[in-house]
């Protein structure tokens, strides 16, 4: 029993000596650097990035760039990643090197894959035909296959007047269908007005200079005054 305990203790100590903390370990004096530091790519478009594995503490042997798709070439301590068509929604890039202490120092590229909605439509919820003033109605803006939906802003309009800005609470990165609603109370002056909605993907400084915008068709409104409704009732 005594010998078994000694063997177990030595084996455990041996395992601990070969366990290395990845990422932000104190022995990592530098981390790989991606260029660009953030990458925003439209679904199906080509993409590329460069990683300088290390500049000073480069005495370790192991280095690499983990990737789900595309190809990687290397020139010294610099790695080049390219892909002809980026179509994997869960794609991530991890660049690493192992220093003299045996610790893996890793950096992850901030990568966003996006897709503007394939279609945007506007309608009233449970209502067709004419409306009456001072009555509440609900507009809905329906989107098909948009990603990432958390970066989307939906704006409802009456003519050129913005009625409200809405965003999704979803954290889904893959394309989803989403519906946004807004309550309105039309007045007599709104007769003949056109309602529509606009979607805009706000993708940050690394995204397109002009955020992708998709709009719905125009929905004309026919608004009757309350007195006409009372006549119909009588």
Per-residue DSSP letters for the chain? Answer: -HHHHHHHHHHHHHHHHT----SS-TT-----EEESSEEEEETT--EEEEEE--SS----S-EEEE-SSSEEEEETTEEEEEESS---TT---EEEEE-TTSPEEEEE-EEEEEB--SEEEEEETT--S-EETT--EEEEEEEEEEB-GGGEEEEEEETTEEEEEEE------S-EEEEEEEEE---GGGTT-EEEEEEEE---TTS-SS--EEE---EE--EE-HHHHHHHH-
Contact call for residues 160 and 211 (beta carbons, < 8 A): no
| CATH number of residue 28's parent domain | 2.60.40.10
Q: What is the pLDDT of residue 39?
A: 96
Whether 201 and 164 share a structural domain? yes
- pTM for the predicted model, two decimal places: 0.80
Distance, in Å, from the CA atom of 101 to the CA atom of 17, rounded to the nearest integer, reads 11
Does 221 fall in a domain?
A: yes
Q: Rounded mean pLDDT of 115-140?
A: 92
83 shares its domain with 145: no
Residue 7 lies in a domain: no
- Please check whether residue 1 lies inside any domain of the structure: no
Q: How confident is the model at residue 101 (pLDDT cuts 50, 70, 90)?
A: confident
Stretch 49-70: mean pLDDT? 83
Identify the domain containing residue 58 by its residue range.
23-113
Per-residue pLDDT tens over the stretch 137-183: 999 999 999 999 999 999 999 999 999 999 999 999 999 999 999 99
Domain-embedded: residue 91: yes
- N-term to C-term CA, the chain: 100
Contacts of 205 by beta carbon, 8 Å cutoff, 6+ apart: 38
> Do 98 and 155 belong together in one domain?
no
Q: Are residues 107 and 130 in the same domain?
A: no
Residues 128 and 222 occupy one common structural domain: yes
Task: Tell which of 63, 84, 113 closes a domain.
Answer: 113
- Boundary (domain end) residue, out of 78, 113, 148: 113
Does 4 map to a domain?
Answer: no
pLDDT digits (tens, 9 = 90+) for 4-32: 332 222 232 333 332 223 444 457 888 99
Give the number of domains in the chain.
2
pLDDT digits 0-9 by tens, 88-100 = 998 899 999 888 7
pLDDT, tens only, 26-55: 578 889 999 999 999 999 999 999 999 988
Same structural domain, 103 and 127: no
């Amino acid at each position: 029993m005594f010998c078994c305990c000694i063997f177990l203790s030595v084996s455990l100590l041996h395992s601990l000596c070969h366990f290395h903390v990845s990422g932000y370990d104190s022995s990592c004096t530098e981390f790989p650097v991606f260029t660009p530091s953030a990458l925003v790519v439209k679904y199906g478009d080509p993409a590329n990035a460069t990683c300088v594995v290390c500049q000073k503490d480069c005495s370790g042997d192991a280095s690499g760039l983990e990737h789900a798709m595309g190809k990687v070439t290397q020139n010294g301590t610099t790695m080049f990643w390219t892909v002809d068509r980026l179509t994997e929604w869960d794609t991530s890039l991890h660049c690493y090197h192992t220093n003299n202490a045996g610790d893996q120092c890793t950096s992850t590229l901030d990568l966003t894959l996006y897709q503007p909605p394939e279609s945007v439509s506007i309608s009233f919820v449970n209502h067709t035909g004419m409306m009456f003033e001072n009555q509440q109605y609900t507009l809905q803006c329906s989107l098909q296959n948009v990603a990432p939906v958390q970066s989307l802003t939906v704006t409802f309009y009456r003519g050129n007047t913005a009625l409200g800005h809405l965003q999704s609470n979803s954290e889904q990165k893959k394309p989803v269908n989403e519906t946004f609603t807004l309550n309105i109370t039309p007045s007599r002056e709104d007769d003949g007005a056109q309602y529509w909605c606009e979607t805009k993907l706000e993708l940050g400084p690394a995204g397109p200079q002009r955020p992708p915008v998709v709009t719905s068709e125009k929905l004309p409104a026919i608004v009757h005054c309350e007195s006409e409704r009372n006549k119909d009732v009588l």
